[in-house]
């Protein structure tokens, strides 16, 4: 199942939050997600990205703006990849397999 989502900021209706929502998109896929953020004129050293397993959120900080996306599934933090080219940050994060096989005797 692939679907595309442009994040919304709920009751935060200020123009700044609307601008942030227009600057990034999330694509959910069967095996993970892809997040793209428009960051024109920035270099990789100008951007910080982190994943918090405790919060189940991805945080991206650039030019004193923070883009936060809360996840409904756990992702494999050892396999997250991020690339910044031509002002577009692309972050891919595969979902973590949290299932456990149970031995039946």
Residue-level pLDDT at 21? 53
pLDDT in tens, 36-72: 989 888 899 999 999 988 888 888 888 878 888 888 8
Separation between Cα atoms, residue 80 and residue 50, nearest integer Å: 10
CB neighbours of residue 96 within 10 Å: 15
pLDDT in tens, 4-28: 444 443 333 333 334 445 687 888 8
Instruction: Name the strand (E) or helix (H) holding 20.
Output: helix 15-23
Separation between Cα atoms, residue 57 and residue 66, nearest integer Å: 12
Delimit the domains of the chain by residue range.
3-94
Residue-level pLDDT at 84? 93
10 Å CB burial of residue 45 (0-12, 13-18, 19+) is exposed
Is 3-94 CATH 3.20.20.70? no
Residue-level pLDDT at 71? 82
């Amino acid at each position: 199942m692939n679907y595309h989502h442009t994040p919304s900021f709920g009751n935060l209706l200020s123009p700044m939050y609307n601008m942030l929502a227009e600057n990034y998109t999330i694509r959910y896929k069967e095996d993970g997600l892809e997040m793209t953020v428009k960051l024109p004129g920035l270099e990789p050293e100008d951007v910080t990205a982190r994943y918090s397993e405790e919060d189940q959120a991805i945080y991206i900080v650039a030019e004193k703006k923070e883009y936060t996306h809360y996840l409904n599934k756990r992702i494999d933090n050892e396999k997250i990849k991020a690339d910044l080219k031509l002002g577009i940050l692309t972050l891919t994060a595969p979902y973590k397999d949290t299932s456990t096989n149970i031995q039946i005797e």
